[in-house]
């Protein structure tokens, strides 16, 4: 099932729904992606994101194919362009949508998200919102491999989540 969704403020999230348990994902994606872009001073109306709503089996296949890790994970992201800063500890430059407003693709796995939310004792919707903010930041060039980059990304995530009423996951 394919659904096009344009939220109230404007980011277009094209959702490919492979797992029916993801009912309500469109509203969470609108909220998380819009808040992320707005927080960074970007107009949500200017950008498109593709989102695959899947299960653990599907994301394990993607994780094996793209990261050589044949196990499920919570979320994966593929930026349309490499927006990473030149050196660790720098904030990525703001992108220009130009003629191609595609930020990239995100895949999110229901089973892993549900399991992690239960283990952490947080609401499922809050955990998914956090992961969508996290993945959107990856599309914008943020990363957490280097400690300096992780610090910037985690602080930015916490600031965005606070605007949404979601507790700091760190």
Residue 113 makes CB contacts below 8 A (sequence gap 6+) with 74, 75, 124, 127, 128, 131
Mean pLDDT in residue range 81-101: 87
- Digit-coded pLDDT (tens) for 29-83: 999 999 999 999 999 988 999 999 999 999 999 999 999 999 999 999 999 999 9
- What CA–CA distance (Å, rounded) separates 83 from 85? 6
Phi, psi (rounded to 5 degrees) for 8: -60, -40
CATH topology of domain 2-163: Collagenase (Catalytic Domain) (3.40.390)
- Residue spans of the domains in the chain: they are 2-163
Residue 68 makes CB contacts below 8 A (sequence gap 6+) with none
Three-state SS for 36?
helix
Which residue in the block uniquely carries the two structure tokens 């403020």?
9
pLDDT computed for residue 123 by the predictor: 98
pLDDT computed for residue 125 by the predictor: 98
Q: Which of 102, 134, 128 is nearest to 13 (CA)?
A: 102
Q: Which of 73, 69, 80 is nearest to 109 (CA)?
A: 73
- Digit-coded pLDDT (tens) for 125-149: 999 999 999 999 999 999 999 999 9
pTM exceeds 0.85 for this model: yes
- Digit-coded pLDDT (tens) for 8-21: 456 788 999 999 99
Percent of the chain with pLDDT over 70: 94
């Amino acid at each position: 099932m394919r659904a096009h969704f344009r939220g109230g403020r404007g980011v277009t999230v094209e959702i490919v729904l492979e797992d029916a348990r993801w009912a309500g994902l469109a509203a969470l994606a609108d909220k998380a992606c819009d808040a992320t872009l707005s927080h960074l001073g970007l107009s949500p109306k200017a950008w498109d994101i593709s989102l695959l709503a899947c299960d653990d089996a599907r994301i394990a296949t993607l994780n094996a194919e793209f990261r050589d890790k044949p196990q499920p994970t919570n979320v994966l992201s593929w930026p349309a362009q490499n927006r990473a800063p030149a050196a660790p500890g720098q904030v990525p430059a703001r992108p220009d949508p130009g003629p191609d407003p595609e930020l990239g693709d995100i895949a999110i796995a229901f089973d892993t998200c549900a399991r992690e939310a239960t283990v952490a004792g947080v609401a499922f919707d809050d955990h998914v919102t956090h992961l969508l903010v996290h993945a959107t930041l990856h599309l914008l060039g943020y990363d957490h491999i280097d400690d300096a980059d992780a610090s910037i990304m985690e602080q930015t995530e916490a600031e965005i989540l606070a605007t949404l009423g979601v507790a700091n996951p760190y």
